[in-house]
A = this chain, B = another copy of it.
């Protein structure tokens, strides 16, 4: 009973994760920066554009020279030259003059607008007609209009997306300071577990599922799995493998064992490690109650249940948020990025005080709505994993969800 009192809610665990500091920073080239999080703000050191540019093909003019121009009464201007793309121009635009300019070309001194080529026609080699007035600034992007020096473009902790990489390239930033990604050691235990390659499977044994599914999930979150090992259920062997992992990993994920007693067993492994501290000893969730969290020296230590569905859900719900904190997320981004709305096909009972994660299959209902059907499988069935498109969360303060309720499905 004293153990049961120690169990934390899912929200309490996430609050503890909020306190995790990011890993040290490192410098990476722009080619490798996508998906990484900034270790400092990015401030523009120069103007974008660097010079006033045309945003359309046409004629650079003094806007006032075109005022009142129309099809019936065009403005007549003298074409005095042409701006060459990619080159500085020494041309200037005086009263009654116009200079041809391509999209992206430099606006000559004296001009304050560009008349689109569609609203012009050549009368002869020098004179052109303008059939629409241009407002000052029209079709011109002035130096610094887009990005001004001193502007904060990205905040520390922001994850760089492909378009952000483009903005950094525009500013000539070829390297950035980002937080290092986590090195994760995956240790699976259980005397019944044998390597995947074993054929035929001896009676009483099962193959090592979690090493593969957890590694794929952890790597999809941007971390690196540096050690992947199957260890016997003996306490000394587990402690020894974890000690080795601590030397050059930031996170140790230990999965395995059966459900009763596994919390205490994993807690014993943790207690056997130097400078260890137990932070969470069981979580009020289903599945995944035996999940434990601790620290061992500088490493984060996760104990996940061995059952594959439970291991995958607790990894997604708790281990991935801890990796995001290590990777430098600053805001409380502890939310799923991939969820879709659906209608629940069946009633789902739950228990007050426990968060339930229910695997669901998605389909189109007759009315064109997306329907989420709970996958009721026997505990321990791994085919649930193959059939599930995602899962529905029943929060701890909710006692169940009704058939037809609108739910968010977190996509696997």
- Chain A interface (Cβ within 8 Å of chain B)? 30-31, 34-35, 46, 48-51, 53, 55-57, 85-89, 102-106, 117, 141, 145-147, 153-154, 161-174, 190-193, 196-217, 219-220, 233, 258-260, 306, 308, 312, 337-338, 341, 377-383, 385-386, 388, 411-412
Contacts and interface: CB of A to CB of B under 8 A. Distances in A.
Contact of A196 (B86, B172, B385): B172
- Secondary structure of the A side of the interface? loop
A52 to B, nearest CB: 10
A164 B30 CA distance: 33
Given A169-B196, A380-B141, A388-B163, A50 B203 contact: yes
Given A146-B381, A169-B208, 8 more contacts: A50-B203, A88-B204, A161-B412, A162-B216, A162-B220, A169-B196, A172-B198, A341-B341
Contacts of A172: 196-199, 201, 207
A205 B51 CA distance: 9
Given A88-B203, A170-B209, A379-B55, A30 B196 contact: yes
Given A213-B169, A337-B338, A163 B31 contact: no
Nearest to A380: B55
Contacts of A378: 55, 141, 145-146
A150 B289 CA distance: 34
